[in-house]
């Protein structure tokens, strides 16, 4: 018997919904999901394989539920005096954010976000029964300290989420705004720093504000700068009491022993893994310059991607790029597309195709 989803007794609020996710197409140049497209160094790959192979020999046993070695490695990587007790990790920062909302959000509670921002924030809010409330940004997608304060006072939500640098706009998030938000809310302030490693080197991370701010949570990921998207490792730095709250909602053994082994091995080579970041920033700046030269309007970006306006028919440009084996991101922002910085060759392929289409 052929049945469809609609024939099943699923939750009413899921009826008619589509699963979230960018199209996964086999193309020559994929610049649509902000990955680090540079291949990882061979010696690092070898070390990861050896570590995972050792973990396979114990695969009959459940993994370390507290992923202690990984938390220590992540604390060491972050620096800023952060200790393993302040670290949490999960299968991507998506899962970290989900666990945060499971612990601090939920039915009867609300979260304030500032669109356009990472779509999963509102989707996770919905999935956990947390009310999603939208704040307004200033000119140029910025959020000033005054604006964040006013929006928090207006909406009085239980949680505030800020994304810096912001996806999909690339907009910087300054410490003054984070401090103002923390002081204005009596609740949890989550800063999503998925793209932190692409910020200018002299710009401080929200991690520098953790000391003395127990309601501040900073989420990060190994998926972007660290070239580890396939392994699914996201993490959080926060007060140890916050980590205790996440222990109450996590599924036991949520991080597989293979994931833990792979991530610990990769973190031993953090410098090598991050060696590509400078080149990615270079390619990103090339994209900004060339787009401007072609008459598009690229937004200033602190990330590994560029949002650009001035596209008369984004869907048409998207399709024409796809015909040439290149995929970018077609978003819900009228007249805009988003492209990730690739390797030099991928970036050149994108820019040449765009020139050709123009
Ligand atoms: N936060 C932001 C702002 C992102 O752009 C992404 C990925 N696109 C994530 C979190 C989630 O990444 P992951 O689950 O791979 O850690």
- For 311-320, how does the pLDDT look when each residue is reduced to its tens digit (9 = 90+)? 999 999 999 9
ipTM score above 0.95? yes
Mean residue pLDDT of the chain comes to 96
Q: Are 308 and 299 in contact (CB under 8 A)?
A: yes
Give residue 4 CA to ligand 1 midpoint distance, Å: 31
Angle 242-20-148 from CA coordinates, rounded to 5°? 50
**Is residue 37 within 6 Å of ligand 1 at its C-beta?**
no
Give residue 194 CA to ligand 1 midpoint distance, Å: 6
**DSSP 8-state secondary structure symbol assigned to residue 115:** S
Return the residue matching tokens 């009228």: 334
Query: Which tokens belong to 93?
Result: 């920062």
* Structure confidence at residue 128 as a pLDDT band (50, 70, 90): very high
- Give Dmax over CA atoms of the chain in angstroms: 62
CA-CA-CA-CA dihedral for 258, 89, 173, 242, to nearest 10: 180
Give residue 121 CA to ligand 1 midpoint distance, Å: 10
**Statement: residue 1 has pLDDT above 90:** no
User: Per DSSP, what are the bridge partners of residue 89?
Assistant: 235
Minimal-distance CA residue to ligand 1 atom 13: 92
Q: Are 185 and 191 in contact (CB under 8 A)?
A: no
Label residue 314 left, alpha or beta by phi (over 0 means left) and psi (-120 to 50 means alpha): alpha
**Is residue 223 within 6 Å of ligand 1 at its C-beta?**
yes
Q: How far apart are CA 33 and CA 36, in angstroms?
A: 9
Q: How far apart are CA 155 and CA 148, in angstroms?
A: 11
Question: Where do the H-state alpha helices sit in the chain?
Answer: 42-56, 68-78, 93-104, 119-127, 145-155, 175-184, 240-247, 257-267, 270-273, 276-293, 314-323, 344-357
Q: What is the pTM of this model?
A: 0.97
Task: Write the pLDDT tens digit of every residue in 22-67.
Answer: 888 889 999 999 999 999 999 999 999 999 999 999 999 999 999 9
- Over range 162-190, report the average pLDDT: 98
Q: Which residue has the higher pLDDT, 16 or 218?
A: 218
Minimal-distance CA residue to ligand 1 atom 6: 194
Q: List CB contacts of 306: < 8 A, sequence separation 6 or more.
A: 170, 284, 287, 288, 291, 298, 299, 338, 339, 341
Atom nearest to 93 CA in ligand 1: 16
Give residue 185 CA to ligand 1 midpoint distance, Å: 24
- Over range 126-132, report the average pLDDT: 96
Q: Are 89 and 73 in contact (CB under 8 A)?
A: no
């Amino acid at each position: 018997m052929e049945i469809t989803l609609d024939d099943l007794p699923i939750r009413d609020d899921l009826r008619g919904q589509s699963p979230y996710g960018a199209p996964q197409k086999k193309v020559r140049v994929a610049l649509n999901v902000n990955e680090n497209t540079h291949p990882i160094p061979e010696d690092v790959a070898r070390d990861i394989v050896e570590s995972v192979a050792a973990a396979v020999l114990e695969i009959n046993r459940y993994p370390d539920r507290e992923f202690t070695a990984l938390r220590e490695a992540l604390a060491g990587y972050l620096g800023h005096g952060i200790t393993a007790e302040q670290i949490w990790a999960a299968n991507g920062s998506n899962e970290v954010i989900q666990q945060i909302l499971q612990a601090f959000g939920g039915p009867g509670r609300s979260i304030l976000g500032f669109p356009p921002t990472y779509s999963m924030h509102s989707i996770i809010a919905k999935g956990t029964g947390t009310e999603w409330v939208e704040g307004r940004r200033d000119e140029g997608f910025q959020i000033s300290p005054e604006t964040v304060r006013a929006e928090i006072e207006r909406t009085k939500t239980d949680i505030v989420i800020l994304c810096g640098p912001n996806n999909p706009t690339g907009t910087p998030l300054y410490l003054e705004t984070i401090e103002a938000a923390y002081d204005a809310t009596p609740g949890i302030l989550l800063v999503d720093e998925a793209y932190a490693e692409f910020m200018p080197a002299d710009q401080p991370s929200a991690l520098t504000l953790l000391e003395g701010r127990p309601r501040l949570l900073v989420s990060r990921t190994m998926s972007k700068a660290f070239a580890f998207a396939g392994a699914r490792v996201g993490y959080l730095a926060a007060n140890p009491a916050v980590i205790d709250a996440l222990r109450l909602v996590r599924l036991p053994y949520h991080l597989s022993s293979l994931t833990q082994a792979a991530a610990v091995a990769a973190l031993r080579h953090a410098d090598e893994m991050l060696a590509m970041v400078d080149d990615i920033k270079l390619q990103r700046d090339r994209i900004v310059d060339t787009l401007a030269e072609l008459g598009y309007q690229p937004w200033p970006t602190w990330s590994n991607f560029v949002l650009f306006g001035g596209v008369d028919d984004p869907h048409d440009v998207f399709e024409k790029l796809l015909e040439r084996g290149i995929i970018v991101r077609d978003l819900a922002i009228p007249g805009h597309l988003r492209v990730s910085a690739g390797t030099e060759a991928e970036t050149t392929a994108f820019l040449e195709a765009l020139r050709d289409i123009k």
